[in-house]
Amino acid sequence: MKRRARTRRCLATTAVLALTLAACSSDGDGGDDGRVTLHINGQPPGTDERELRVFEAEIALFEEEHPEIDLVPHEGFMDPETFHTRVAGGDLEDVFYVYLTDPAGIIEQGYAADLTDHLDDVPHLDQVRPELHEVFQDEEGRQYGVPTANYSMGLLYHRGLFERAGLDPDAPPTTWEEVREASAAIAALGGGVTGYGECATENTGGWHLTAEIYSTGGGVAERDGEGWRAAFHTPETVRLLENLRAMRWEDDSMGSDQMRSCEDVMVQMGAGQLGMYLGAPDNLPTLVRQYDGDYEDLGLAPVPDGRGTLLGGEGYMINAGASDEQIEAALTWLQWRFVNPDAVERRIEEAAADELPVGLPTPPTPDIWVEGEIRESVEALKERHANVPVENVRPFMEGAPTVEGRIEPPRAQEVYAILDNVMQGVLTDEGADIRGLLDRAEDDVNRVYGS
Amino acid sequence: MSTPTARRRRLGEHVTAYGFLCAALVVFAVFAWYPAVRNIVLSFQEVNFVRGSSWVGLENFRRLLDDPLFATAWRNSALFTLYALLLGFGVPFVTALLINEFRHARAYFRVLVYLPVMLPPVVVALMWRWFYQPEGGLINEVLGTAGLPTPEWTNSSSTALISLVIASTWANLGTATLIYLAALQTIPGELYEAAELDGAGIWRRIWHVTVPQTRFVILMLLLLQVIATMQVFTEPFVMTGGGPEDSTVTVMLLIYRYAFVYNDFGAASAMSLLLLVVLAVFSAAYLRVTRGQQK
């Protein structure tokens, strides 16, 4: 009896182990009945009920229209911390979401499929702004992804605080000097209100500084033969940083807590305690939904100085291991879902019915189209169905076509980490030597490009 | 001499034990030993998860040495460890001595001191971020009310690192305090009585009775603390992101950046290997101390 009990315990232990190991292994999938199976991410979390409902409805409709394609959705977007381990573990979806910061590295490491030979027959793709396509191209112009949204940087400001400070909310600052003046006026309101805010940690300081350097017409990196070299140490950048230092230390209009992430800055804006910061249109719905902001209070203007702006946004890439059939199916899905002017009106109506914002340069009407018929019709629909005060973003939209959009520098995250120090130096050290900070950053960036 | 039947029976009796042992071995092999070995391999490779990795010899180490942040990170980690020893080593010992002197409510104080350890480290870091805010933060509000100067804390490169040490010490002193307390309670009361009869005051009693009697625990905790603080990550990651101006970039934070921000797993592994070597020296010392004590 005892031996039998022991044997049973042994078998049970072995079974548990075997089950555990089996659970760790991949579940194996593939098309059945000639259907192409596609694992896609980008599914909103269960906590975001409205977005999830819209997403699920889109999946169902697509599968109805394309019975030969079976979509398997996965929750989540781009998580840089797990992305590479998922690649290593073979768990990366066939179609995966990226920020416009990511494609350069992903292409270099060979994680995405070359789509170039599959793009000719994809409708409307040639009507997407070429600088967005450029983000997904390698140096030979081969394309590895599809841009689906564009959020170029602008000046996000609090119209209510502008009014309280005696400033005209319909005439936001157009230069960095005017930003300084407005910032001082807003900070003078007191009660913990600050005029202008900056992100400074986790590479966001470098990211913002890059956007600001672009706004003055400068660049962060330039070609040096086959490679690249730093190009930001210019008199314009010094002037820009001196203006920032004056806001922080002479006018005291930026508050004293400077080691902040962009989320901290958004919390302050949502609470009506911050006058201005550099941000993109996608910040608007986030400020309202997550940080208690109000569309009536928020305005968006072109980036100060307006000689260039940093392009941001999102898109999708396709796993390097995808078959030709999967690539074709993936492009069918991406075009249908994101580059589809024929579905704009339906999506606008659904978004409005779900009380999601309509009228902003964000999905369901992302600002991705070149000047022309499609752009005009989307803009007209957007205006007709708008359920948020679009006049508050009109300065940005009117200025957008004239401000040159520029992509991020090569090895962006490493460069941003270095430029973080410049931003932090100016904001946390009253006696910071701006030229010294730029000298050091220039050496460090050139070392990165040289390695 | 045992018969084959007896041997089979003994083997049968131990099958379950072997099964559980195997499970433990598999878990250790998969989740501890294999990653450690893989880390060593990766540190000599240019890592690519799709095309396959290639051997690059010492190239990853050369690139690390070329990075000015490499020296900064080691200096910051060493300074953090030093400050943490100065602050975090003495404070638990003194706290344990004080609690040990209480005849009543000792258990209450034990719980009170241990409470911060029960908080998740990220929560502690976020809480201290708020404490340290130059305007509206708890500490500067209190200092300001008392008419004292209000430092910039994590907003200044000269005070950021020590600010992290203070937060870390507050969060971790509970464990060390309890260990000291346990050690203090093993000291025979007669020793203190004898010292008192000899006219020893409180400081001489501590120096001549308490310290010698807890020498082993002190040494053990010192080594464990060096091993732990050299790997500090949560506080700089959550509270400062390594800034201002790299003043709180630690070795672990740089490893994280190499791996998950720059996607350079080769350099991250190389740096981890260097950290492993440094910690191995302290671990060897720890093993030597504990083995000596067991003998």
Region(s) of chain B under CATH 1.10.3720.10: 64-294
Nearest to A257 among B68, B155, B243 (CB): B155
Which residue, among A378, A392, A88, A242, has the nearest Cα to B260 in the 3D structure?
A88
Residue A48 banded pLDDT, cuts 50, 70, 90: confident
Q: For B51, what's the count of Cα atoms within 13 Å in the CB-facing half-sphere?
A: 15
For residues A252 and A248, what is the distance between their CA atoms, to the nearest angstrom?
Answer: 5
Give pLDDT tens digits for A210-267.
999 999 999 999 999 889 999 999 999 999 999 999 999 999 999 999 999 999 999 9
What 3-state DSSP class applies to A114? coil
ipTM value: 0.81
Top mean pLDDT of A333-337, B107-111, B193-197, B224-228 is at A333-337
First vs last Cα of chain A: how many Å apart?
A: 70
pTM for this entry: 0.85
Residue A2 banded pLDDT, cuts 50, 70, 90: very low
For residues A112 and B269, what is the distance between their CA atoms, to the nearest angstrom?
Answer: 24
Residue A24, C-beta contacts closer than 8 angstroms, at least 6 positions apart:
none
Residue of A257, A416, A418, A448 for testing the chain B interface, max B β-carbons within 10 Å? A257
Nearest to B50 among A111, A203, A414 (CB): A111
Predicted pLDDT at A18:
42
Of the candidate ranges A18-27, A99-108, A130-139, B227-236, the one whose mean pLDDT is the lowest: A18-27
Q: Is A202 on the interface with B (CB under 8 A)?
A: yes
Residue A15 banded pLDDT, cuts 50, 70, 90: very low
Mean pLDDT of the region B88-115: 85
Mind telling me how many Å the CA of A326 is from chain B's nearest CA? 18
Give pLDDT tens digits for A149-183.
988 899 999 999 999 999 999 999 999 999 999 99
For residues B261 and A80, what is the distance between their CA atoms, to the nearest angstrom?
Answer: 7
Predicted pLDDT at A32:
54
Residue A186: is its pLDDT beyond 50?
A: yes
3-state helix, strand, coil in chain B (%, to 5): 75, 0, 20
Averaged pLDDT of chain B: 89
B64-294: CATH class: mainly alpha
Measured between beta carbons, the chain B residues lying within 8 angstroms of A192 are 135-136
Residue B226, C-beta contacts closer than 8 angstroms, at least 6 positions apart:
B81, B85, B282
Give pLDDT tens digits for B183-220.
888 888 888 889 888 888 888 888 888 888 888 888 88
Residue B289 banded pLDDT, cuts 50, 70, 90: confident
For residues A160 and A178, what is the distance between their CA atoms, to the nearest angstrom?
Answer: 18
Q: Which residue of A has its CA nearest to B47?
A: A109
Mind telling me how many Å the CA of B76 is from chain A's nearest CA? 16
Describe the crossing of helices B59-66 and B265-294 by its angle, rounded to 10 degrees: 90
Of the candidate ranges A60-69, A322-331, B286-295, the one whose mean pLDDT is the lowest: B286-295
Mind telling me how many Å the CA of B158 is from chain A's nearest CA? 10
Subunit contact B156:A17, Cβ cutoff 8 A: no
Nearest to B257 among A10, A417, A427 (CB): A417
Predicted pLDDT at B293:
65
For residues B50 and B265, what is the distance between their CA atoms, to the nearest angstrom?
Answer: 13
Measured between beta carbons, the chain B residues lying within 8 angstroms of A81 are 260
Mind telling me how many Å the CA of A5 is from chain B's nearest CA? 10
Chain B residues whose C-beta is within 8 A of a chain A C-beta are: 12-13, 15-16, 19-20, 22-23, 26, 48-51, 63, 66-68, 133-137, 152, 154-157, 240-246, 257, 259-263, 265
DSSP B124-184: HHHHHHHHT-TTT-HHHHHHHHTT-----GGGSTTTHHHHHHHHHHHHHHHHHHHHHHHHH
Residues 388-447 in A contacting B (C-alpha not used; CB under 8 Å)? 411, 413-414, 417, 420-421, 424-425, 427-429, 444, 447
Predicted pLDDT at B233:
96
Q: Sketch out chain A's domains with CATH numbers.
A: 36-151+312-353 (3.40.190.10), 154-310+405-450 (3.40.190.10)
Mean pLDDT of the region B283-292: 80
Phi and psi torsions of A36, nearest 5°:
-95, 125
Residue of B61, B135, B139, B261 for testing the chain A interface, max A β-carbons within 10 Å? B261
Helices (H), A31-129: 49-65, 80-88, 103-108
* Beta strand extents in chain B (DSSP E only): 45-46, 54-55
Phi and psi torsions of B150, nearest 5°:
-110, 105
Phi and psi torsions of B278, nearest 5°:
-60, -45
Subunit contact B261:A421, Cβ cutoff 8 A: no
Is the four-CA dihedral A11, A13, A19, A22 of positive or negative sign?
A: negative
Are B260 and A81 a contacting pair, CB within 8 Å? Answer: yes
Q: Is A101 on the interface with B (CB under 8 A)?
A: no
DSSP count for chain B of H helices, then E strands: 15, 2
Mind telling me how many Å the CA of A382 is from chain B's nearest CA? 37
Q: For A292, what's the count of Cα atoms within 13 Å in the CB-facing half-sphere?
A: 5
Nearest to A428 among B13, B48, B155 (CB): B155
Subunit contact B240:A413, Cβ cutoff 8 A: no
Q: Can you say how many angstroms the Cα of residue A276 is from the centroid of all Cα atoms in its chain?
A: 19
Predicted pLDDT at B295:
61
Subunit contact B135:A80, Cβ cutoff 8 A: no
Mean pLDDT of the region A190-210: 95
Q: Which residue of A has its CA nearest to B237?
A: A202
Describe the crossing of helices B160-184 and B215-229 by its angle, rounded to 10 degrees: 150
Mind telling me how many Å the CA of B134 is from chain A's nearest CA? 6
Give pLDDT tens digits for B9-67.
777 778 888 888 898 999 999 999 999 999 999 999 999 888 888 999 999 999 999 99
Subunit contact A451:B66, Cβ cutoff 8 A: yes
Measured between beta carbons, the chain A residues lying within 8 angstroms of B49 are 84, 87-88, 109, 111
Residue A21 banded pLDDT, cuts 50, 70, 90: very low
Subunit contact B16:A111, Cβ cutoff 8 A: no
Give pLDDT tens digits for B131-161.
999 888 999 999 999 999 999 999 999 999 9
What residue has token string 């249109």?
A281
Subunit contact A10:B16, Cβ cutoff 8 A: yes
Q: Is A13 on the interface with B (CB under 8 A)?
A: yes
Predicted pLDDT at A26:
36
Subunit contact A429:B156, Cβ cutoff 8 A: yes
What residue has token string 């501890």?
B32
Counting residues of chain A whose pLDDT is more than 90, the rounded percentage is 72
Give pLDDT tens digits for A390-402.
999 988 988 877 8
* Number of inter-chain CB pairs under 8 A, A vs B: 110
Measured between beta carbons, the chain A residues lying within 8 angstroms of B134 are 256-257
Of the candidate ranges A142-156, A267-281, B214-228, the one whose mean pLDDT is the lowest: B214-228
